[in-house]
Structures are given as structure tokens and as C-alpha cells.
Structure 1
Amino acid sequence: MNTVDFKHARGPDKLRVYAIGDVHGRLDLLQAMHRRILVENEKSPPFDWVVVHLGDYVDRGPDSKGVLDLLVKLQKKTHRMLTLAGNHDVGLLEFLATGDGYGLFARNGGRQTALSYGINIDFEDPGSVAAGRKALADAIPQSHVQFLRGLQRSMVFGDFFFCHAGIRPGVDLDHQDPEDLIWIRWEFLENPHLHPKIIVHGHTPVSDVEVRTNRVNLDTGAYASGRLSAIAIDAGNKFFLEVSV
């Protein structure tokens, strides 16, 4: 099996690839990062460029609705805004389908998502959960639901494999379990061995962008830290961007 390390990994020729870590309802930071990317492109114009968003657009932060509004709008305007699924994005769909008051959405920041749509749910009250699920389903635009349902689990550019959480080591990249791609943690994070591609991911918050020989973690806990991070890959050149408030 051929492998690659971060130092020698290259992106595609004539395509600058940006990847942005977990947003979690921080519309302000996402907009700031998009502006920062445009500034970088003006300073050093690429032949072409794309932005890969690594998932977890909703929950915990104050404006999940605004984040989804922005991404839906941008994807209608340009082919350059690419989006991957995070476990929280899937969790929102699961709550809308099941109304589970003990699932990921209910117990990990879904209240803030519902509030961004004008719905107040008390997840300690089964009656409020049931009524809230119905109200939230009515409040969420169909375009948001279609966006969430259409999210990919992974994508590849050059020597880089992009996903939300990570991969199952030893399993071919083409045969990864979709659940691992949005949920895996320690089996992946603690594995020191090189993979066929450099894995660019989020999912596990770190204080600063974490660069290992086999992976890059871009989740700097935006909803709590006020810092959103990204990587830019331009052929053999790699550099990092951060915005903060």
C-alpha cells in the first residue's frame, strides 16, 4: 500500500483547496473565514479554487440557521463551496425524523439550533420535546433539509482525504464505513501509521490546529473558543488561516 506523509503531500495542480473546520452555529466566524479566503486569493490569485467545509454546521453556537442559510445560498451561486456531513448535521436530521429526546441533538447543543429557528425546546420535558420536534420540522426550510440530506461523507483532492471525524485505519479509503467518517475518534487519532492520503478532519476540538505526519485536525472549538481554522493546499504549499472574534 502506498502511503504519504504531510511534508511531501501535494494538492492537485492548478487548484487551491481550502478546508474549514467545525463551525457549530458561528455564522460570524464562517463569514469572516470566507472573507479571509477571498483576501488570500487576491494576494496570490490561484488558477482555480474550492472550499471544503468539514461538517458540524449546527448545534451549540448561536446561529445554526444562519450558517445553513449562507451555505445553501452560496452553493446556488458557485460550484466552489463544497460541504461534508458532520455527526451533528446528521443528528439534526435524526431528531426531525424520530423526536428522540436523548439523542445527540437533544443532549449536545440542539437547543441552540432550535432557538435559531425560533423554537424553544425543553429537553427535560417529553411534552416539550414532542411539540418542539413538530414545530422545528415546520420552521426549517425545505432547502435546509435537502442540503443536510445531500451532504457527502468524504472527498479527495490530490494526496488529501477530507472527512469530518477520521477514518478506520487499515480499511481502504474507498470502503470506509460512513458512520466512522463522522464519528470515529481514538482508534483514528491515536494511530501513528501513515495512510494512503493525509486525512484532513475536525470533530475533536483542539486548542490549536494539530498537524501530524498522517493527519490534520482543524477543529479549534469555534463555538466556545471564538476561533475558526482552515488549511490552504496549493500544490506542494500548505498554510493555515485563522479568524477570531
Structure 2
Amino acid sequence: MNRNVVIQKLKTKAERKIVISDIHGNLDLYQALLHKIDYKPGIDCLILLGDLVEKGKRNLDTLHYIMHQVQTEDVHCIMGNCDFIAKNVLYSYRLDFLKHVLGFRTASLIHEMAKSLNIEINENSNMSQICQILRKHYLDELCFLNDLPHVLEDDAHIYVHAGIESNENYGTDFKHVMTHAFFLESNQVFKKNIIVGHMPVTEYCSHIASFDPIYDVKHNIYSIDGGNMVKFGGQLNALIFEKNIVKVERCDFLKERKVIQNVDYHTQIPFFITFNHGNIQILERNSIQSKVYCPYNNRTFWVENEFVTNDMKAYDYTNYEIPLKKGDTVKEVFAYQDKVQIKKNGILGWTYRSNLE
């Protein structure tokens, strides 16, 4: 298998470029976002930063929809690490690992393909035989994902799923550009704007968590993955370039709740616990809360037990009580005890149930 990084020049005459990342088989949300931003097929240029499939409920439908867009519109895709699953099937590559992944990832393109052929994939499956059958019936789909470039580039931007190594060397192996961890924390200053997905932007938050795209002006990096299909409060983001203006739009299907009374700002030191740095040590525990210590944040705090996982994490917990005004509309993320974790304008926090209609 050729593991070189495939780079293509982005050729478009469109005045508006729209970048979306990490659709993850969530076709309904993808279509809703396109409608919200008034996407004009054939007029706008649409750039999809990979992870088109996996984790959502409509992976095969999403793939067919995007394949049609690429064939008929000014739509360009790059490969994400989740799209790599097509290579596993196409080349019968690392089949034991593929079976392992499919064992815990029930929402998968490969499961959907197999189900359409009345094939069940389980621990006793002959993956070599199954891959042969899938290649026979879904060769076009597998080849579409397999043939995606890893990097797109124009005069001002570099579009890549996770990150590049440097200005001079984008990566010596395609794994580098698809799985580069914490790229926003790079010390390099890039000559062009680098636009990436892959890592949910909340993973860069330590105080107040926001799901909106982040722009690091010092290093010229846009990170736009809103955590769709990965985070309870996740959203699908669109980064829009039009002339000299950059805009952001977001879309999610979270339930809307109306605020029925004012909630004033309380003096506090907010903090947020991420997934990657969410390891905790339990110091005390009762039926409602646990007193925990988080080494990464160097904090000891009480947290509701609903946030304490079996693998000793407390990720996506925030102590930030969002100020609210009567009549505001917020999104419900997670209800627990007498509180509700909510999202307001892309920002995560909490409020008491009694404050909501």
C-alpha cells in the first residue's frame, strides 16, 4: 500500500468557499447545515475535511449523497482517519483490527454495507470472505473513499483532516495528516492558513468550553470540529470564506428550552474537564456526588456522580453556570439531578431545571 501523502490543488472559481468537517454519517444534520447557510450547488465551493462516515446512523446514505455532490457540484473531499476503513476492506488490510473496531462500533459504514447483503459481522466472522463480498457489491463506494486526497491546497489555505508536519514537509506518511493530535497546540508558524478538523475544539478548552471553531492567529490555524456524533453537546460547524470576510455557522439537533427567569452572573473561576485530560482520582463519594482530584487541571472538586465514568474520568464536566435572561432559548445537552447541562451560542454550561420552561 502506498503510504505517501497525496496533495491536490484546489481549483475553483467560486466566490464563497464553505468548509465542513467530521460529518460522521449524520446526513440529516449535514443537510440541515447546508440549508441554514443557504448553500448554492454549483455556485459555492464546498470543502469537506474528512471523516465523512462512521459513528452516525446513515453512513451509506451520507456517502452516496456526497459522491453525487462531488460528481455534479463544486464539492471537494479529503480523507479522514474514519474514512480509512474503506482501505481496510478494499485491501483486506489489518482484518483482525477491523473486526475489533466493528465489534464496538456498531454505527459503521461496513456494518451497513454488510446488513444490506444480509451479512452479520461478529467475532466469528471470516473477515477476508466478507471483504471479498463487499468489494463485489460496493466497489465504487470503497474506491471513492480510497482515492480521496489527504491534503487540498490553494493560494491562501491548506485543508487537511488533522494537521501537517511543517511548511516544507506536510507528512511522510498519510497517518500523520489524518491523526495529528492537538494540532492547535503546534509551535510552528504556518505561511498559509491551515484548516483542520479531527479534534473536537472543546478538547482545547480548560475554562469555558465552546463548540465553535477556533482561530489561532499566531500560528495561522483554524480548528473547526464541533464534536458532532462524538460529544453530547456536539454540533456541525461551517467555516465560510467570502471575499475578505470569514463567517461561522453551527447546527445541531439538541432540544430547545425556553428560559423563564433571569440568572445573574456569579463570580466564579470556571473550569472544564476534557476527554483527553479527564482522568480523576476519587477522594470521597456519597450517593449524589464524588469529591475528585484531576491531575491535569490540578483541581479538587465535587462532581455529580452522573459525570464519573467506570474508567475513572469526569470528562465534559463544567462548573460554569451560564448567565441567562428570561425569554432566552438554550439547548439542552444533559439533565441530571436538579440541573441541566445546556449550550448557549455554542458555549457549554449548566443551569437549574427550575430556570427552564
| Smaller-chain TM-score bracket | 0.7 to 0.9
Q: CA RMSD of the aligned region, Å?
A: 2.8
Larger-Rg structure: 2
Deviation at 1:77, TM superposition (A): 1.6
- Tell me if structure 1 keeps the 8 A contact 2:57–2:107: no
Compute the displacement of 1:155 (Å): 1.2
Query: What is the rounded CA distance, in whole Å, between the counterparts of 1:72 and 1:13 in structure 2?
Result: 21
Q: Give the direction of change, closer, same or farther, for the CA distance of 1:152–1:108 in structure 2 (3 Å limit).
A: farther
**Aligned-pair distance for 1:144?**
0.9
Out of 215, 223, 247, the residue aligned to residue 239 of structure 1 is: 247
Name the counterpart of 1:62: 57
Residue type at the aligned position of 1:185: A
1:92 equivalent among 75, 86, 89: 86
AA partner of residue 221 (structure 1): G
Amino acid at match of 1:50: C
Give 1:14 deviation, angstroms: 6.0
Match of 1:215 in 2: 221
Aligned residues: 223
Q: CA deviation at 1:242?
A: 1.2
Give distance in 2, aligned partners of 1:115 and 1:105: 11
- Decide whether the 8 Å contact of 1:111 with 1:120 is kept in 2: no
Q: Is this contact kept in 2: 1:101–1:126, CA < 8 A?
A: no
Can you list the C-alpha shifts for 1:63-121, whole angstroms capped at 9, x where unaligned? 1101110011122222x111111111123222342261214854673752223222432
Query: What is the match of residue 21 of structure 1?
Result: 21
Per-residue Cα deviation, 1:36-87 (whole angstroms, up to 9, x for no partner): 33x2669xxxx95300000111211111101110011122222x11111111
CA contact (8 A) 1:57 1:68 kept: yes
> Which blocks of at least 5 consecutive residues in structure 2 are unaligned?
1-11, 203-210, 254-357
Q: Which amino acid aligns with 2:51?
A: D
TM-score (norm 2): 0.56
Cα deviation 1:119-152 (Å, max 9, x = unaligned) = 4322xx1435445434433442x32123112211
For normalisation by structure 1, the TM-score amounts to: 0.78
Structure-2 change in CA distance of 1:48 and 1:82 (3 Å): same
Query: Structure 1's 145 and 13: CA in aligned 2 closer, same or farther, altered over 3 A?
Result: closer
Whichever structure has more helix as a proportion of its residues is: 1
Of Structure 1 and Structure 2, the greater strand share is in 2
The one-letter code matched in structure 1 to 2:163 is: G
Q: Which has the higher contact order (CA 8 A, sep 6+)?
A: 1
User: What is the aligned partner in structure 2 of residue 112 from structure 1?
Assistant: 108
Q: Distance in 2 between matches of 1:75 and 1:16?
A: 17
Separation in structure 1 between the aligned mates of residue 197 and residue 56 of structure 2, nearest angstrom: 16
Structure 1, unmatched stretches of 5+, are 1-11
Q: Which runs of structure 2 are paired with 1:125-204 in the superposition (5 Å)? A: 125-127=123-125, 129-140=127-138, 142-169=139-166, 171-173=168-170, 177-186=173-182, 188-204=183-199
